[in-house]
Chains A and B, each alone.
Chain A
Amino acid sequence: MLLRHTPEKISERSALVINPAKTCQPIGAMYAALGIHGCLPHSHGSQGCCAYHRSTLTRHYKEPISAATSSFTEGASVFGGSANMLQAINNIFTVYEPEVIAVHTTCLSETIGDDLKQIKKKAANEGKIPPGKEVISASTPSYIGSHVTGFSTMVRSMAEMAEPTGKKNKKVNIIPGWVEPADMEEIKRLVSLVGVPSILFPDTSGVLNSPLTGEYKMFPGGGTTVAELKSTGDSIGTLALGEWCSSDAARYLDTKCKVPCSVLDMPFGLKATDRFIDALRIVAGTTVPDEIAMERGQLVDMISDMHQYLYQKKVALVGDPDQLIAMTEFLVSLDMQPLHIVTGTPGKKFEKRIREITKDMPHEVNVKAKGDMFLLHQWIKNDPVDLIIGNTYCKYIARDEDLPFVRWGFPILDRQGHQYFPTVGYKGGIRLLEKILGVLLDRQDRDAPEQKFELVL
């Protein structure tokens, strides 16, 4: 057994986290920043932080992840990292020539109280920021929130680049939240099909799924441009997908630039996608094209075709709040039964929302925000499930408990596809369903006695 020391008996833990269902803020800030065109993320802290974030993102995307660090030494930790940061800004603009440097803090620089806005001002005064180039910053100490809040904070910093001109640009801001490059691409496709001119930010499509051509571009073609970010203050409204990932930025634009916003769930699964498309239709004042109705119908068709294999199957889930909320709703809509749900990101609202979605389940659902995968595993040992959905670390639980496993979330370190195949929208729903059915039916085939082994399922 891989997790052989995990006991069935659950004991209260107040200080020890085992097998976390979250990581720290800076990696989220780094991922978000990669969704700005021509942006080099910069980690203001020890060089290990940057190395770890780059490694994790690289393993997840199998793509180069460029980011710089202030490389704190003991001296910088005592006297402040301002000198390191100023030197870094100068070196980055000279050597790598990005359009934007997106700086995020770490627990180290936050604990010693470095003020990024102050440092940036100094850099500007000393002429270290070339004309037309931008330095943005986000405060992301690792001892608050999680990778999700770090992402959200950097997205808010992107919104803070808005420079309203007073003249509306007739576009809608779409904030997709922490989804894959393929999902961002798919959201753009759906938005344009409905006929809504939009600014999507961040946008990692075309950045973290780049082609192999024999040429390396540190700054590939994708990403939201600085001009677009500046223009978000002139948009007619903002659709923020995901309360945890996207609402902060949307509310900032609402308060500061009078750009009204709606916060929707991330469009995973049938119902959340329905609400997203409906919102787009109303915003654009147009009808939904048949092409989208067709895709929806195909998803509904597949649900009905395969309902018998999904019905009442119990599921354990681990991931991030926005994704889990939409996924739980999707599973409930398939007549499946989410049973154990854990996120590492704090926030009581999460538990409340999950309880609402699962209120008609025949059993009580175990749900915990600020939980960990050790607890999830213990729940599974006490109340077995038919399926586990989550990041790659679930494979240790899946193997020990012999569970069908669908990889979905962050990080996925051992399988491919998330960069290229979306799971948002109706088509994404079909893909999710295909993955779920794949593992469930593989299991049925594996376990069927010879006389009951079926050709047609």
Chain B
Amino acid sequence: MATTTKKKLVTWDPANVKEELLKKYPAKVARKRAKQIMINEALENETPEIHANVRTIPGIITMRGCTYAGCKGVIMGPTRDIVNLVHGPIGCSFYAWLTRRNQTDAGPDGENYMNYCFSTDMQDSDIIFGGEKKLTQAIQEAYDLFHPKSIAVFATCPVGLIGDDIHTVTKNMKEKFGDCNVYAFSCEGYKGVSQSAGHHIANNQVFRHIVGENDEVKPGKFKINLLGEYNIGGDGFEIDRIFQKCGITCISTFSGNSTYDQFASAHTADLNAVMCHRSINYVADMLETKYGIPWIKVNFIGANATAKSLRKIAEYFGDKKLIAQVEKVIAEEMPDVEAVSKDIRTRTEGKTAMMFVGGSRAHHYKELFDEMGMKTISAGYEFGHRDDYEGRHVIPDLKVDADSRNIEEIEVEPDETRFKPRKTAKQMAALEKSGYKFKHYDGLAPDMDNGTLIIDDLNQYEAEKLVEIMKPDIFCAGIKEKFSIQKLGVPMKQLHSYDSGGPYAGFKGAINFYKEIDRLVNSKVWSYMKAPWQTNPQLSAAYVWE
């Protein structure tokens, strides 16, 4: 092998690293960042507290995006048969055009607008005189051209400032058309502190305007919704493959490879399985309150995690045949996974990783690194909240601040006709007694080793320092971080877009990921940083001609 695999000596102390990260900051910045950098340590009863879901400091180069990105880009982007019309100047729609890798399968003739970019392209006159007329006309033009079943409108920053009433416009157009559901999202980029607010705004409106629109009972014995899975690089396809093999029917996925009708039918499922806790746990709560569907946290990133999640779903239904089938599928899939894992572990064991991504992904991908024998020495989220780090038990203690106050929380009540507990109180109690956990998530921190660093909203400067000091074998974040890390000679894996790779979910995904990380950390390229004359700059002998 070309690269050296000598095990690095761990020479850093987390307290020193933290000090080093904060040293250069102005005092005020250092004070704030100190609360977002947590040295993971085992306290008697609880994990240490971290400051999260708070404002980014102006001028500090953040990894975060905006509320619009979370709403249009993340949640609504993967739904193929809704015309997603962005109301605003051209940029916001342009940048969200096919740049997230949510794959979809519309078949040869199905409706698929995901390759299109729709915008009202607001001009200065619209800003001065208001954009409602233009928006109305744009919705009409989209309807006339495509006759979609649904048109979604997204507000960008100036829309909220000039006071365009997008909700009234869409309501009127919905009434006018009769056969097209039109609704709007007030997801102006300045709201909240990160993409997370946008997820919330999107999910609220999906719940309000779409869920429950179709009561038709879908075939299938074990019906679930998969919440918070976005089919990046085909993850959702792999999960669907496994579900089908097990005999589990996925009524809807929020929102990878999804359709309008999937959302509309979500209330007919019997269990909600939550992947990305951050972006969607509140939808699971609302579905439970309104329709009586219980929810569990699952994770299909990592082969062991996948097996565990499948067993958890089967146990919920408690059907012997399903339980047996799930075991059969796991037994069929695991040998391939184990064969690859055995091979790559000879090259990955003992290596170190850092992950700063998303609001659940850093936790999920830790599973995969664990399976490869790699240690996650530092991790954190871009837009996570305290409960994603410390577990759901902190939710009652979360403080509502000026930025979260304006993000709507929908109050839901049991649906008069359609609320139906999926299990009796007795059945639920029996499951819980046997150790089954509903609505439960412990967060990232308990899974991280003592003395590791958990950092919220990591920024460019801290990322560079961390890599310099702790020298991980691989660093994971997003496209903006990719090349500054790689310039340092450390491989960088994008865990938002997967660098055009994937799927990494499920059993086949685990195999893909093992191979990908093996390729990255053992690539020859990292040994080419210095030219021969740079490693030996002194001329010590005359050139020997052959």
Binding site for B on A (CB under 8 A): 2-5, 7, 11, 13-20, 22-27, 42, 45-49, 51-56, 58-59, 62-77, 84-85, 87-92, 94-96, 106-108, 111-112, 141-144, 146, 210, 212-218, 344, 374, 393, 396
Q: Which residues of B contact A72 (CB under 8 A)?
A: 157, 189-190
Contact indicator A215/B59 (Cβ below 8 Å): no
Binding site for A on B (CB under 8 A): 24-26, 29, 55-69, 85, 88-99, 109, 111-113, 115-124, 126-127, 134-135, 137-138, 140-142, 144-146, 156-158, 160-162, 188-193, 402-403, 406, 460-461, 464, 478-480, 482-489, 525, 528-530
A306 CB to nearest chain B CB (Å): 34
Q: Which 3 A-B pairs have the closest CB atoms?
A: A48-B66, A24-B91, A88-B59
Which residue, B115, B142, B528, has most C-beta atoms of chain A within 10 A?
A: B115
Q: Contacts A54-B480, A87-B59, A91-B29 given: A77-B487 contact, CB under 8 Å? A: no
Complex alpha-carbon distance, A106 and B88, angstroms = 12
Complex alpha-carbon distance, A146 and B94, angstroms = 12
Q: Which residues of A contact B97 (CB under 8 A)?
A: 19, 393
From B60, B117, B525, A95 is in contact (CB under 8 Å) with B60
Q: Contacts A20-B119, A95-B461 given: A51-B59 contact, CB under 8 Å? A: no
Contact indicator A51/B127 (Cβ below 8 Å): no
Q: Contacts A76-B190, A214-B529 given: A64-B65 contact, CB under 8 Å? A: no
B357 CB to nearest chain A CB (Å): 14
B449 CB to nearest chain A CB (Å): 28
Q: Contacts A15-B141, A16-B142 given: A214-B530 contact, CB under 8 Å? A: yes
Contact indicator A55/B95 (Cβ below 8 Å): yes
Q: Which residue of A lies closest to B198 (CB)?
A: A48
Q: Contacts A3-B116, A64-B487, A108-B161 given: A143-B145 contact, CB under 8 Å? A: no
Q: Contacts A20-B90, A95-B25 given: A143-B189 contact, CB under 8 Å? A: no
Q: Which residues of A contact B123 (CB under 8 A)?
A: 143-144
B423 CB to nearest chain A CB (Å): 42
Contact indicator A66/B158 (Cβ below 8 Å): no
Complex alpha-carbon distance, A17 and B92, angstroms = 13
Which residue, A3, A18, A27, A75, has most C-beta atoms of chain B within 10 A?
A: A18
Q: Which residues of A contact B62 (CB under 8 A)?
A: 47, 51, 69, 71
Contact indicator B126/A108 (Cβ below 8 Å): no
Q: Which residues of A contact B134 (CB under 8 A)?
A: 15
Contact indicator A91/B489 (Cβ below 8 Å): no
Known contacts A52-B96, A74-B192; 4 additional CB pairs below 8 A are A63-B483, A91-B60, A94-B26, A143-B158
Contact indicator B482/A92 (Cβ below 8 Å): no
Q: Which residues of B contact A63 (CB under 8 A)?
A: 483
Complex alpha-carbon distance, A75 and B64, angstroms = 18
Contact indicator B59/A42 (Cβ below 8 Å): yes
Contact indicator A141/B59 (Cβ below 8 Å): no
Contact indicator B65/A48 (Cβ below 8 Å): yes
Which residue, A26, A76, A142, A393, has most C-beta atoms of chain B within 10 A?
A: A142
A350 CB to nearest chain B CB (Å): 17
Contact indicator A48/B56 (Cβ below 8 Å): no
Contact indicator A52/B122 (Cβ below 8 Å): no
Q: Which residues of A contact B91 (CB under 8 A)?
A: 23-27, 49, 52, 142
Q: Contacts A15-B134, A66-B484, A216-B487 given: A91-B57 contact, CB under 8 Å? A: yes
Complex alpha-carbon distance, A96 and B59, angstroms = 10
A25 CB to nearest chain B CB (Å): 8
Complex alpha-carbon distance, A67 and B60, angstroms = 9
Q: Which residue of A lies closest to B28 (CB)?
A: A87
Q: Which residue of B lies closest to A51 (CB)?
A: B65
Q: Which residues of A contact B55 (CB under 8 A)?
A: 71, 73
Complex alpha-carbon distance, A393 and B189, angstroms = 25
Contact indicator A143/B24 (Cβ below 8 Å): no
Complex alpha-carbon distance, A143 and B126, angstroms = 9
Q: Which residue of B lies closest to A65 (CB)?
A: B480
Q: Which residue of A lies closest to B483 (CB)?
A: A64
Contact indicator B66/A107 (Cβ below 8 Å): no
Contact indicator A108/B113 (Cβ below 8 Å): no
A114 CB to nearest chain B CB (Å): 12
Q: Which residues of A contact B403 (CB under 8 A)?
A: 73-74
